Structure 1
Amino acid sequence: MPAPLELDPTASPLAFFGAELRKFRKSAGLSQEQLAEIIRFSPSLVGLIERAQRTPSKDLVQRCDEAVGAEGELLRLWPLISREASPRWFREWLDIEQEAQSLRTWQPLLIPGLLQTEDYARAMLRGEPGVTEEQVEKSVQARLERQIIWSRPNPPMFWVLLDEGVLQRPIGGRVTIRHQLEHLVQMAARPHIAIQVVPMAFCATTGLLGGFVIAQLAGSPDIVYYESTGHGQMTDRPEDVAAIQMKYDAIRAEAHPQHVSIELLREAAKTWT
Structure 2
Amino acid sequence: MAHMQSLDPSASPLDYYGWELRRRREANGLRQGQLGEIIFCTGSLVGQIETTKRVPTRDFSERLDAALGTDGVFSRLVGLVLRSQLPTWFQPYAEMEAKAAYISTYQAQLVYGLLQTEEYARSLLAVDHPSRVDEMVAARLERQRIVRGENPPALWIVLSEAVLLQEVGGRHVMHGQLARLLEFLDSPWVQIQVLPFSVGQHTGMMGSFNLLRFEDAPDVFYVDGYDQGHMTANPQAIKERSVGYARLQAAALSPEDSATLIARVMEERYGNHP
TM-score of the two chains, using structure 2 as the length reference: 0.87
Q: Report the counterpart of residue 227 of structure 2 in structure 1.
A: 230
> Given the alignment of the two structures, is residue 251 of structure 1 paired with residue 248 of structure 2, yes or no?
yes
Residue in structure 2 matching 1:202, options 187, 199, 204: 199
Contact between 1:160 and 1:196, CA under 8 Å: does it hold in 2? yes
Q: Report the counterpart of residue 106 of structure 2 in structure 1.
A: 106
Greater shift in the superposed pair: 58-67 or 149-158: 58-67
> What amino acid maps onto 1:171 in structure 2?
V
Residue in structure 1 matching 2:236, options 217, 239, 242: 239
Superposition map of 1:28-177 within 5 A: 28-32=28-32, 35=35, 39-42=41-44, 46-47=46-47, 49-52=49-52, 54-128=54-128, 131-133=129-131, 135-177=132-174
The number of residue pairs the alignment matches comes to 266
Residue in structure 2 matching 1:221, options 218, 221, 230: 218
Structure 1 residue 210, shift from structure 2 partner:
1.9
Q: Cα distance 1:207–1:3, how it changes in 2: closer, same or farther (>3 A)?
A: closer
SS of 2:152's partner is coil
C-alpha offsets along residues 10-65 of structure 1, whole Å, 9 cap, x if unaligned? x33223322321221121123456546764142xx645533545422334434544
Give the distance between the partners of 1:53 and 1:212, measured in 2 at CA: 35
* Unaligned ranges ≥5, structure 1: none
Q: Cα distance 1:47–1:182, how it changes in 2: closer, same or farther (>3 A)?
A: closer
TM-score of the two chains, using structure 1 as the length reference: 0.88
Greater shift in the superposed pair: 213-222 or 30-39: 30-39
Q: Cα distance 1:174–1:53, how it changes in 2: closer, same or farther (>3 A)?
A: closer
Structure 1 residue 66, shift from structure 2 partner:
4.4
Q: Report the counterpart of residue 6 of structure 2 in structure 1.
A: 5
Residue identity (%): 36
Give the distance between the partners of 1:89 and 1:55, measured in 2 at CA: 20
* Unaligned ranges ≥5, structure 2: none
Contact between 2:213 and 2:220, CA under 8 Å: does it hold in 1? yes
Contact between 1:7 and 1:51, CA under 8 Å: does it hold in 2? no
C-alpha offsets along residues 182-211 of structure 1, whole Å, 9 cap, x if unaligned? 111111320111111101112215322321
Contact between 2:34 and 2:43, CA under 8 Å: does it hold in 1? no
> Given the alignment of the two structures, is residue 19 of structure 1 paired with residue 19 of structure 2, yes or no?
yes
> What amino acid maps onto 1:169 in structure 2?
Q
Structure 1 residue 181, shift from structure 2 partner:
0.9
> What amino acid maps onto 1:195 in structure 2?
I
